[in-house]
Amino acid sequence: MRRRAMAAIIKKDIRAVSDNVQIWLPIIIVPLVFTVVLPIVIILLTKYQSPAGSSAWELPMKLLDKMPMGSMQDEINSFPTLQQKVIFIGLNYIFLPLFLLIPAMVSSTVAANSFVGEKERKTMETLLYSPISEVDLFISKVLAPFITSMAVTVVCFIIYGIVVNLFTYDIFQGVIFPRPNWYLTAFLLSPAVSVLSIFFNVYISARVKGFQEAYQLGAMVVLPILAIFYSQLMGVFFLSNVMIVLISLIFFAASALLILSTGKSFNRNKLFESQIK
C-alpha cells in the first residue's frame, strides 16, 4: 500500500510536467541549446576561423596558459595543433559547468511545481488527506523531480557526446568524449546539483502561492554553478576529477542542511496553512 501510494504521487507529478507547456517547453528547449547548438557553434567557430585576431580562440588560449601542471595539461599538450587544443579545452572544460545548468533547471522547474501546482490545481487538500505518511509524501515529492532531472541529464549527456564526436572526428581522427571528468559530472556532480535544487525548491514551493514565484526564487540555485563557471574562466580553479568530487560533497552537505530545515516544518498543518494564506 505504501509503495503504491508513493508511486501514484510520483507518476502524478511527472504527468503534470507533460501536461503543462509552461514546464515542459523549457525542459526541451534549454537542454537542446546546451547540448546541440552551443557545442556546434564552438566547433565551427574554432574550425573555420584563424587564431589571429579571433575572439573565439582568445578564451581557450588564456585558459590553457592558466591551467596547472599535471595530467590535465599533459593531455592537452599531447595534441599537435593549436586548433585541437582549443577545441578540446572548450568542449571538455569550459563547457563543463554550463552542462550543470541542465539538471539545475529541470529539477528546479519540476520541484517548484511540486506543491505550488497542487495549490493552483486545488488538489492540495486531497493530497494532505491521502493515506500516506508525511515522510513518504516528502520522499515522493522529491523523487518525481529527481527522476525527471536525471533522465533528461543522461539523455543530454548522450546527445552531447554524439554531437561532439560527430563534428570533431575529422579534426582528431577519433573520439574525444567522454573523459573521466565528464563521467563524474554526469553521474556524481549532476545528481548533487539536482538534489540541492530539489530540496531548495521544495522548501520554497511549500511556502509560496504561485508557480512563477516559486520558480523565480528557486532559480537562485544556479548562482553556485555560475560561480564555478566564472572561477574556472578566471583560473581560480579547474574542474579536475578531485575538484568535481569535492564540490559534489559540498552540494550534498548543503542538501542535508536543507533536509533538516525542511523536515522541521514539513507537516500537514503547515502545508494546509500555506494553502489558505
Rounded to 5 degrees, φ, ψ at 18 are -70, -20
Q: What total of structural domains would you count in the chain?
A: 1
* pLDDT surpassing 60 at residue 277: no
> What pLDDT sits at residue 207?
61
Count the neighbouring beta carbons within 10 Å of the beta carbon of residue 129: 10
> What pLDDT sits at residue 264?
58
Q: Rounded to an integer, what is the distance from CA 215 to the centroid of its chain? A: 15
> What pLDDT sits at residue 240?
82
* pLDDT surpassing 90 at residue 184: yes
The better pLDDT of the pair 196, 20 is held by 196
In angstroms, rounded to a whole number, what is the distance separating the alpha carbons of residues 75 and 84? 11
Grid cell 560561480 — which residue? 227
Q: Give the residue-averaged pLDDT of 159-169.
A: 94
The better pLDDT of the pair 210, 103 is held by 103
* Structural domain for 37, as ranges: 2-276
Grid cell 508525511 — which residue? 134
> What pLDDT sits at residue 169?
92
Give the range among 31-35, 61-65, 267-271 with minimum mean pLDDT.
Answer: 267-271
This prediction's pTM = 0.83
Would you place residue 121 in the very low, low, confident or very high pLDDT band (cuts 50, 70, 90)?
Answer: low
Q: What is the mean pLDDT of the chain?
A: 79
Q: Give the residue-averaged pLDDT of 117-133.
A: 65
The better pLDDT of the pair 146, 208 is held by 146
